[in-house]
């Protein structure tokens, strides 16, 4: 509430109105382009330590995978994912 960046100081007195679109123009399926993947930054830091944890959930219907990566600049990354048996 009284932190270094209080959010309540930036409140708008009235909400912004969003413009409304009455109708969408129909696109020709021949001219429709496939989406291109967004570029991403290549990770250059090396992993110093890695820990993997695989646990079965309480209802035993899926697995929960957790990866803990410690990078060379002492940054920690924890990644998690739920896996189905199939």
User: Which letter does DSSP use for residue 70 in this model?
Assistant: E
Q: Is the pLDDT of residue 13 over 60?
A: no
Cα distance between residue 61 and residue 64, in whole Å: 10
pLDDT for the residue numbered 38: 84
Give residue-wise pLDDT tens across range 31-75.
666 788 888 888 888 999 999 999 988 888 899 999 999 999 999
Q: Is the pLDDT of residue 6 over 70?
A: no
pLDDT for the residue numbered 7: 55
Pairing type for strands 47-56 and 63-71 reads antiparallel
pLDDT for the residue numbered 22: 60
Helix (H, G, I), strand (E, B) or coil at 50: strand
């Amino acid at each position: 509430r009284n932190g270094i960046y209080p959010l309540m100081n930036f409140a708008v007195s009235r909400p912004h109105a969003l413009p409304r679109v009455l109708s969408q123009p129909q696109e020709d399926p021949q001219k429709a382009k496939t989406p291109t993947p967004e570029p991403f930054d290549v990770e250059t830091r090396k992993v110093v330590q890695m820990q993997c944890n695989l646990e079965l959930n309480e209802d035993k219907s899926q697995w929960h995978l957790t990866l803990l990566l410690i990078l060379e600049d002492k940054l920690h990354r924890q990644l998690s994912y739920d896996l189905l048996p199939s």
